[in-house]
Amino acid sequence: MPANETKINQQLISYLLLRRCIGFLGISLPIILVAGAFFYGDCKLIQSSISDYYHTEMRNIFVGVLCAIALFMFTYVGNDYRDRIAGNLASIFALGIAFFPTYVDLDSGSCGTNCLDYEPWVSIMHFTFAALFFIVLIYFSLVLFTQSNYEKNERPEQKRKRDTLYRICGYIMIVCIVLIAIYAAFIKTKFPEIKKLDPVFWLESIALFAFGISWLTKGQFLFEDE
């Protein structure tokens, strides 16, 4: 095999591996936090949101995974300048989520043990970064990942399957974010009993699963080209 062809294949493998790593991190984050808090932090309760795990014994894991996602996003190149810009923005927003913690209510059954008294603006910054992060992820799934050099009716079957899955994941993330916003703005105060079901945690987890599946598919872990 010619040397430049070998180099191209190596670069292709590294790009696919990078995308798969991002996908696995997204999917595994909620699982790691819940399992780690249960076994290591003796926390038998699921927290109200994924961000609340910052205030448990899983703080370092929470921050570490987000920093890893930020690093992978920063090194992500993609096909053109839009991928690079989106990757850099996602990296910044992921770091913002990690280093601007959310407010946690210790009277709501939280397992928080590392809580500090933060100013309200810190929590506002956290939610802003989280919203922007998911907006970029949705942009990746619905716009960037569905791009192709083929004409629409000439795309290979595996590419068409991947595009369908990208769109499903993108729309799932949109629905989850909208439902979280509706819950926070209207439902939370009118129906406080719903909080016991941890709707924000589950919606965030579903959104992260969709994000992870989208990136795993981009890494051709699913529907790999023949």
- Locate the domains of the chain by residue range: 11-218
Judged against a pLDDT cut of 60, whether residue 65 lies above it is answered with yes
Four-point Cα dihedral 12, 77, 136, 103, nearest 10? 100
pLDDT score, position 131 = 94
Residue 108 vs residues 30, 37, 111, 121, 220: alpha-carbon distances, Å:
20, 17, 9, 21, 42
Q: Which residue carries 């690079």 as its tokens? A: 84
Average pLDDT score over residue span 64-93: 91
122-133 pLDDT, tens digit per residue, is: 889 999 999 999
Residue 7, pLDDT > 50, answer no
What pLDDT digit, counting tens, does each position of 95-111 carry?
999 999 887 665 545 66
What burial letters (b/e) apply to 92-109, b meaning 16+ CB within 10 Å? bbbbbbbebbbbbeeeee
Alpha-carbon distance of 161 to 196, in angstroms, equals 38
Confidence at 1, pLDDT banded by 50, 70, 90: very low
* CA-angle at 87, arms to 85 and 90, nearest 5°: 110
Query: How far is residue 52 from each of residues 13, 33, 98, 104, measured CA to CA in Å?
Result: 36, 10, 11, 6
pLDDT at 118 over 70: no
Sign of CA dihedral 22, 135, 214, 45: positive
Report the pLDDT averaged over residues 179-199: 90
Instruction: Residue 220: name the closest of 165, 180, 173 by CA.
Output: 165
Distance CA 167, CA 215 (A): 12
Could you tell me which residue, 79 or 167, shows the higher pLDDT?
Answer: 167
Residue 147: what residue type? Answer: Q
Local structure of 4: helix, strand or coil: helix
Segment 138-160 shows an average pLDDT of 84
| 151-178 mean pLDDT | 90
Q: What is the mean pLDDT of the chain?
A: 86
Distances (CA, A) of 154 to 93, 150, 162, 194: 36, 6, 14, 48
The secondary element (H helix, E strand) that includes residue 84 is helix 81-99
Mean pLDDT in residue range 187-213: 92
Quick check: 36 pLDDT over 50?
A: yes
Q: What is the pLDDT of residue 111?
A: 67
